[in-house]
Amino acid sequence: MIPASFDYHAPRTLEEAFALLQAHRDDVKVLSGGQSLLPLLKLRLGAAGHLVDIGRIPGLEYIEERDGALAIGGRTRESALETSELVRTKYPLLADTAAVIADPLVRNLATVGGNLAHGDPANDHPATMLALGAAVVAAGPGGTRTIAIEDFFVGLFTTVLEPDEILTEIRIPVPPSGSGGAYVKLERKVGDFATAAAAVQVTLGADGKVARAGIGLTNAGPVPLRAAGAESFLTGKEPTEEVIAEAARRAAAAASPSPDRRGTVEYKREMARVLTARALRRALERARGEH
Amino acid sequence: MATHKIRVEINGAEREAEVESRLLLVHLLRETLGMTGTHIGCDTTHCGACTVLLDGQPVKSCTVLAVQADGREVLTVEGLEKDGQLHPIQEGFWQEHGLQCGYCTPGMMLTGYALLQKSSDPGEPEIRQAISGNLCRCTGYVNIVKSVQYAAAKLRSAQ
């Protein structure tokens, strides 16, 4: 399959990229890793007259802690997250997620910023970032702005990014001690989108009660879903089996998945319940240092 | 129609081409340059038949634009053999019967080659994880795993 004709631009700086995005405002897409965009163009589900490849702009690939946050450059590849010692030891939810996105070859090109900016609720990072309480940095010709992840997704394949903005960084608050996270995904085969998946990040207080809970669900509606009801139910409670089960029920009740070849609405909602409970148990084990 | 002059190092040799923006890397290899060792399977980023190494990393060349490879290095199956000598990964697939129809084989070998660059003695789970983006519909993967391990042993003994 061959995409419809377009022109390709490879700016060397963000300023050049902004100028190109402004010049072709209504007919342009940002090309990051290309692992969602190129299939979309090949299948002719989308078209753009111009692609602006941000792959040759230096300084957009990094994973580092600074100012109380884990900062991830927008063009950081999934494979870099997967192999990062910092991510593996301190951000197990991110490590879990990076290991199940598409397949290893796709992860060599796919980027974290692209996974979010594509605005696909079937992608895995949106749920992860919702659970982690992340923010994204959007850079544009007028400067940069920071957007809380829960305000970022507005519809299917739609985010609040302006046509001339580029997602340059993801910021995740450094988790306090007593924190743990997990991502549990059900997929028919490696490389498939999730039938259902749950991202959980919890922090336990000194009393063993839940001080903070973040829960995100993948493929559970037209936009990535934050299970806010389940989060507030958990907060302040001792995480017993009964509490976990009730939180999972509440998360699943908030899900509105679409039926497709991966399953019916009922099946997917039930899987969301089961996976939320499993992710919660694993996150709690990690928060207690049990693994 | 927008075209770009690109220069790509393919299997150690500089190649130049004038390409349309939308030309895919796999089509540059097969059609523009006549290198048909790289196969097209699903054409939808699933099967890995089109796997090549881009700057040493295995990628699906049906999902990379040729122009994105400008100034970079590509290794295809044609670049594995040196001076009439099969690379150990090729020898492994021969010795361990790692193929039946052969369609997935170039991609499998390149993914295996890349794995052995960073892991000299991979176990079965590591190999199966590494090739999980390359589909084989014949072998059940058992002999492919053995082929990669054959190559790993041969490379280790040569060190």
Average pLDDT over residues A223-241: 98
CATH at residue A169: 3.30.465.10
Q: Which residue of A has its CA nearest to B130?
A: A104
* Residue B2 touches partner A, C-beta closer than 8 Å: yes
Q: Print the domain residue range for A198.
A: 179-285
Q: What is the pLDDT of residue B43?
A: 96
Per the listing, tokens 């290794």 go with B75
* CB–CB contacts below 8 A, A to B: 86
Given an 8 Å threshold on Cβ–Cβ distance, is B1 in contact with A191? no
* Residue B21 touches partner A, C-beta closer than 8 Å: yes
Q: Which of A173, A199, A231 is the last residue of a domain?
A: A173
Q: What is the pLDDT of residue B159?
A: 80
Q: What is the pLDDT of residue A290?
A: 84
Shortest distance, CA B43 to any CA of chain A (angstroms) = 7
Q: What residues contact residue B89 under an 8 Å CB cut-off, 6+ apart?
A: B80, B109, B112, B113, B116, B147, B148, B151
Given an 8 Å threshold on Cβ–Cβ distance, is A6 in contact with B22? yes
Q: Positive or negative, the Cα torsion across B62, B64, B70, B73?
A: negative
Write the pLDDT tens digit of every residue in B33-65: 999 999 999 999 999 999 999 999 999 999 999
* Residue A235 touches partner B, C-beta closer than 8 Å: no
CATH at residue A279: 3.30.390.50
One digit per residue, the tens of pLDDT, for chain B of length 159 reads 689 999 999 999 999 999 999 999 999 999 999 999 999 999 999 999 999 999 999 999 999 999 999 999 999 999 999 999 999 999 999 999 999 999 999 999 999 999 999 999 999 999 999 999 999 999 999 999 999 999 999 999 988
Given an 8 Å threshold on Cβ–Cβ distance, is A39 in contact with B51? no
b/e map A94-121, b = 16+ CB within 10 Å:
bbbbbbbbbbbbbbbbbbbbbbbbbbbb
Whether residues B26 and B8 share a domain: the answer is: yes
Q: Which helix (H) or strand (E) holds B57?
A: strand B57-60
Shortest distance, CA B153 to any CA of chain A (angstroms) = 23
Q: Looking at the 3D structure of chain B, how many domains does it have?
A: 2
Q: Which of B79, B112, B146 is the last residue of a domain?
A: B79
Average pLDDT over residues A218-242: 97
CATH at residue B133: 1.10.150.120
Whether residues A168 and A190 share a domain: the answer is: no
CATH at residue B13: 3.10.20.30
Shortest distance, CA A225 to any CA of chain B (angstroms) = 27
Half-sphere exposure of A69 (CA within 13 A, CB side): 16
Whether residues B70 and B120 share a domain: the answer is: no
Quickly state the pLDDT bin for A291 (edges 50, 70, 90): low
Q: What is the pLDDT of residue B3?
A: 95
Whether residues A204 and A163 share a domain: the answer is: no
Whether residues B74 and B107 share a domain: the answer is: no
Instruction: Give the dihedral of Cα atoms A188, A191, A196, A197; nearest 10 deg.
Output: 130
Which ranges in chain A belong to alpha helices (H)?
A: 14-23, 37-42, 78-83, 85-90, 92-98, 104-107, 112-117, 125-132, 228-234, 241-254, 265-287
Q: Looking at the 3D structure of chain A, how many domains does it have?
A: 2
Whether residues A223 and A273 share a domain: the answer is: yes
Q: Print the domain residue range for B100.
A: 88-158
Q: Which of A143, A173, A203 is the last residue of a domain?
A: A173
Whether residues A196 and A165 share a domain: the answer is: no
Whether residues A200 and A214 share a domain: the answer is: yes
Residue at A56 is within a domain: no
Write the pLDDT tens digit of every residue in A87-141: 999 999 999 999 999 999 999 999 999 999 999 999 999 999 999 999 999 999 9
* Residue A79 touches partner B, C-beta closer than 8 Å: yes
Residue at A140 is within a domain: yes
Shortest distance, CA A43 to any CA of chain B (angstroms) = 8
Q: Which of A123, A140, A173 is the last residue of a domain?
A: A173
Whether residues B68 and B11 share a domain: the answer is: yes
